[in-house]
Chain A
Amino acid sequence: MPISFEKAENTREAERYYHQVAVEQMRPISRKYDDHEHDLPVEWIDWFWREGRKGAGRADGEGDGFVQVCIQAEELCWGDAALYLRMPTPALGGSAVAAAGTNEQKERFLAPFRGDGHPIWGAMAITEPNAGSDAAAIETTARLDDDEWVLNGTKIFCTAGQGASEVPGGFVVVWATVDKSAGRAGIKSFVVPAGTPGMTLVGLEKKLGIRASDTATLRFEDCRVPRDHLLGSEKVKKADPSQTGDKGFKGAMATFDASRPIVAAMAVGVGRAALDFVTEELARQGIRLRYDAPPRELTAIERDLLEMTAELQAARLLTWRAARLLNRMRPNNLEASMAKAKAGLAVTRITQKAVALLGPAGYSKKLMLEKWMRDAKINDIYEGTQQINQLIVARRILGYSSSALR
């Protein structure tokens, strides 16, 4: 395929479908579940489980693959990013299973999400009170005992952690170390089914934004799962620079190469919500962005709009590029982090500027701009902060290892 920006036919169908979902199912309840932070958005969850998860229809023919997934995420997050995160899906837990699990594990853990039962959730638990961006510092332990893994530790900031830990049928993928002395090589991931004794929901965060999303603290106290709930290899290969020694950790990190373009696309969705609204509102006020005006005639507002529009599109295209590489099964670690770093920061700025451009109205809860600004900021933080993604980009472009550039 040559350089092309033309969406495949089924991508355009999906785009139309998810846009309609955003308009009809998400926007009408968007404010309600921002105001009522820990209420379950039942109408959305039920609708999605009943209708939404069927998707836009057939995905046959040559398609955009992962780019289409990004476009879907953008449309839904244009609707409401928090409700998107609250959808009953395997989410990041599913990505982890798909990336590191055997075919049997994929079938066992993911099939229920296609089943007829009640809505269920997947989640991934990595972050700990003392281990955020530095995932190798994880303190949660996994010990093999009588053919079962025994997990102990505390996980925080677990998106969809309430649904995934409590509602039977779902699961949480938990990162834990099987051998602290092995450092990163000792870190493995484990599927902990919802309701497993020893896994407790300790609390839910009260947040700046994405309030309809359940961000959980989970405690693991002698939480036992069968031996075959480990994803990937049991073996701990101690770091050896000459080998691809720590595949367990790398495998786990590879999940991010697939998830970061999606998070970047989600960010673009929120940013676009704000930019669309501001552009339309200003047009109603007679202010239109001119592309054929000389610089001296452009107003400050036009300059802002121009920059916001270009920044959002640059973020979107970087995102699609990272996704496109996944389609080709090519390494995209650099590109995924570039997209995530760019999108997180771009939409943070775009939404903040959008609030400012509309003055008191932008600041008021009568409009949604203030919510989108609050929602947008998380994209600069989760799934690797702006800074950790910059660090990854820097290591790649400089050819430095993680020990050479910390």
Chain B
Amino acid sequence: MIDFEPTEEQALIVDTVRQFAAHEIRPRAREADETGSLPKDVLEQAHELGLVANALPEAFGGGGERSAVSGSLIAEELAFGDLSIALAILSPALVAFPVVDFGSDAQRKELLPRYAAASFRPGALAVTEPHFGSDPFRPRTTARREGSDYVLDGAKCQVPWQDGDDVLLVSAAEPGGPQLFVVPRAAAGLKVERERNMGLQALPTAELRLEGVRVPASARLGGEAGSDLRALIARGRVALAATGVGMARAAFEVARDYAKERQTFGAPIATRQAIAFKLSDMAIEIDGARLLVWEAAWRLDRGEDALREATLAYEQVKRIALEVADGAVQVFGGHGYTREYLPELQLRNARGYASFEALALV
């Protein structure tokens, strides 16, 4: 039966995360962006909510409640607070979920418990590449078998790079297609350079050079069976689309509230159709995009190939997140251009979706 009501349990999580986003994340967003650093205490607090750990298997200390729909609901609410902080909070899933989905028993045993432990552990996944036309399905980074090792060569960018863990996952092409590899952050031949981007300034990201990075055969995620990059990218698109909906909703709400306060010619600008219609457009597009995200997530939860729906949802979100953030700046006028208000930050973040892949997973 077709329905659009989250379960009671989901509604409860949404409410909790919404409060957390409003009271803990949002007040720290501007400072985090200005200083280019994450509020560590907020990450720890979020970790205590178990937003990622709840989705990990019980055998490894998790809650055993993986759901892409729930994950999308959570991602939207977190990003409603702030995109950078949301992606930081969700980053453990960047390693944990692929390991759950594709990893061998040994890899699960080795890598999963850390993300369900008492304190926060960030994750890192390297998919995007710095060359023109980066293609997550056909990475230029290569993995070459040499004896009992793999040798990785290539470059990656937009890799979340928070301190506090010692591994990352890297996608690399083998003759048979792309695969994922577990790479120590301290591996010889891995050069890390901190990025400076227009947005996402609070989230440390890195550009990586892999020059003859040697990992043992056991580092290939999933062993012989390997990993399904198509499924990984679909999950990434759903998760990112969900954050885009949350970010857009945040921009919409600040614009709406401002429009009701700001007076011109003796009345709030929200009473003018030029502004009111812009706001109604935003609201409609945000709701429509959210439903696309839910549909794709629902398909993932049924174990279906959801790349089509995930891509449709993500493409829609890429477009509307930018439109909404730009609209919010416009509603604020000159003030929207200043760093005193959130829309300028949201506009810088929104443009990032044009190149973001797999910065979050459900």
Residues of A within 8 A of B (CB): 1-8, 11, 62-64, 67, 291-297, 306-307, 309-311, 313-315, 317-318, 320-321, 324, 335, 338, 341-342, 387, 390-391, 393-395, 397-398, 400, 404-405
In the bound complex, do residue A338 and residue B312 qualify as a contact, i.e. CB atoms below 8 Å apart? no
A292 CB contacts on chain B under 8 angstroms = 137, 230, 233, 307, 311
In the bound complex, do residue A315 and residue B288 qualify as a contact, i.e. CB atoms below 8 Å apart? yes
Known A-B contacts A292-B230, A398-B260; the reply to A6 vs B279 at CB < 8 A is no
Shortest 5 CB-CB contacts between residues of A and residues of B: A314-B288, A317-B291, A394-B276, A294-B135, A296-B133
A315 CB contacts on chain B under 8 angstroms = 288
Which of B2-10, B189-197, B204-212 lies at the interface with chain A?
B2-10
Tell whether B186 is near chain A: CB-to-CB under 8 Å. no
Residue in A closest to B319 when the chains form the complex, CB atoms: A307
In the bound complex, do residue B1 and residue A6 qualify as a contact, i.e. CB atoms below 8 Å apart? yes
In the bound complex, do residue B4 and residue A397 qualify as a contact, i.e. CB atoms below 8 Å apart? no
Partner of A393, one of B259, B284, B294: B284
B311 CB contacts on chain A under 8 angstroms = 291-292, 306
Complex Cα gap A395–B276 (Å): 8
In the bound complex, do residue A296 and residue B6 qualify as a contact, i.e. CB atoms below 8 Å apart? no
B294 CB contacts on chain A under 8 angstroms = 3, 5
Residue in B closest to A306 when the chains form the complex, CB atoms: B315
> B118-155, CB under 8 A of A: which get 1 and which 0?
00000000000000111111100000000000000000
In the bound complex, do residue B279 and residue A397 qualify as a contact, i.e. CB atoms below 8 Å apart? yes
Complex Cα gap A293–B298 (Å): 23
Residue count of chain B within 8 Å CB distance of chain A:
50
Tell whether B214 is near chain A: CB-to-CB under 8 Å. no
Tell whether B283 is near chain A: CB-to-CB under 8 Å. yes
Known A-B contacts A307-B315, A393-B284; the reply to A3 vs B5 at CB < 8 A is yes
**Nearest-Cβ distance from residue B77 to partner chain A, whole angstroms:** 15
Complex Cα gap A172–B288 (Å): 35
B277 CB contacts on chain A under 8 angstroms = 387, 390-391, 394
Complex Cα gap A320–B292 (Å): 12
In the bound complex, do residue A320 and residue B2 qualify as a contact, i.e. CB atoms below 8 Å apart? yes
Residue in A closest to B295 when the chains form the complex, CB atoms: A5
Residue in B closest to A61 when the chains form the complex, CB atoms: B1
How many residue pairs between the two chains, A and B, have CB atoms under 8 Å in the bound complex? 145
**Nearest-Cβ distance from residue B195 to partner chain A, whole angstroms:** 20
B170 CB contacts on chain A under 8 angstroms = none
A397 CB contacts on chain B under 8 angstroms = 256, 279-280, 283
Partner of B10, one of A2, A5, A317: A2
B285 CB contacts on chain A under 8 angstroms = 314, 342
Tell whether B271 is near chain A: CB-to-CB under 8 Å. yes
Residue in B closest to A393 when the chains form the complex, CB atoms: B280
Known A-B contacts A394-B277, A398-B276, A405-B276; the reply to A318 vs B284 at CB < 8 A is yes
Complex Cα gap A293–B138 (Å): 9
In the bound complex, do residue A318 and residue B2 qualify as a contact, i.e. CB atoms below 8 Å apart? no
Known A-B contacts A324-B4, A397-B256, A404-B271; the reply to A3 vs B69 at CB < 8 A is yes
Complex Cα gap A313–B295 (Å): 10
In the bound complex, do residue B298 and residue A313 qualify as a contact, i.e. CB atoms below 8 Å apart? no
B292 CB contacts on chain A under 8 angstroms = 310, 313-314, 317
Complex Cα gap A335–B295 (Å): 18
Residue in B closest to A4 when the chains form the complex, CB atoms: B3
A317 CB contacts on chain B under 8 angstroms = 288, 291-292, 295
Complex Cα gap A335–B284 (Å): 9
Which residues of B, 222-247, contact A by the 8 Å Cβ criterion? 230, 233
A387 CB contacts on chain B under 8 angstroms = 277
Query: Dominant SS at the A interface?
Result: helix
Known A-B contacts A296-B133, A393-B280, A394-B276; the reply to A310 vs B271 at CB < 8 A is no
Known A-B contacts A314-B288, A317-B295, A398-B256; the reply to A2 vs B133 at CB < 8 A is no
**Nearest-Cβ distance from residue A309 to partner chain B, whole angstroms:** 6
B319 CB contacts on chain A under 8 angstroms = 307
Residue picked from A295, A306, A311, A398, most chain B C-beta under 10 Å: A398
Residue in B closest to A392 when the chains form the complex, CB atoms: B280
Complex Cα gap A390–B135 (Å): 39
Complex Cα gap A8–B287 (Å): 24
Tell whether B90 is near chain A: CB-to-CB under 8 Å. no
Partner of A391, one of B3, B135, B276: B276
> B256-296, CB under 8 A of A: which get 1 and which 0?
10011000000000110100110111011101110110110
Complex Cα gap A6–B1 (Å): 5
In the bound complex, do residue A64 and residue B2 qualify as a contact, i.e. CB atoms below 8 Å apart? yes
Complex Cα gap A318–B10 (Å): 21
Residue in B closest to A404 when the chains form the complex, CB atoms: B271
Partner of B1, one of A1, A291, A335, A390: A1
In the bound complex, do residue B1 and residue A4 qualify as a contact, i.e. CB atoms below 8 Å apart? yes
**Nearest-Cβ distance from residue A225 to partner chain B, whole angstroms:** 39
Tell whether B79 is near chain A: CB-to-CB under 8 Å. no
In the bound complex, do residue A318 and residue B287 qualify as a contact, i.e. CB atoms below 8 Å apart? yes
In the bound complex, do residue B132 and residue A296 qualify as a contact, i.e. CB atoms below 8 Å apart? yes
In the bound complex, do residue A341 and residue B5 qualify as a contact, i.e. CB atoms below 8 Å apart? no
Complex Cα gap A2–B69 (Å): 10
Query: Would you list 29 pairs from A and B whose C-beta atoms are within 8 A, ordered by A residue?
Result: A3-B4, A3-B7, A3-B10, A3-B298, A5-B295, A5-B298, A67-B2, A294-B136, A307-B315, A307-B319, A310-B292, A310-B312, A311-B316, A313-B292, A314-B288, A314-B292, A317-B292, A318-B291, A320-B2, A321-B291, A324-B3, A341-B280, A387-B277, A391-B273, A393-B280, A394-B273, A394-B280, A395-B276, A398-B256
Complex Cα gap A405–B272 (Å): 7
Partner of B2, one of A6, A291, A398: A6
Complex Cα gap A63–B283 (Å): 29
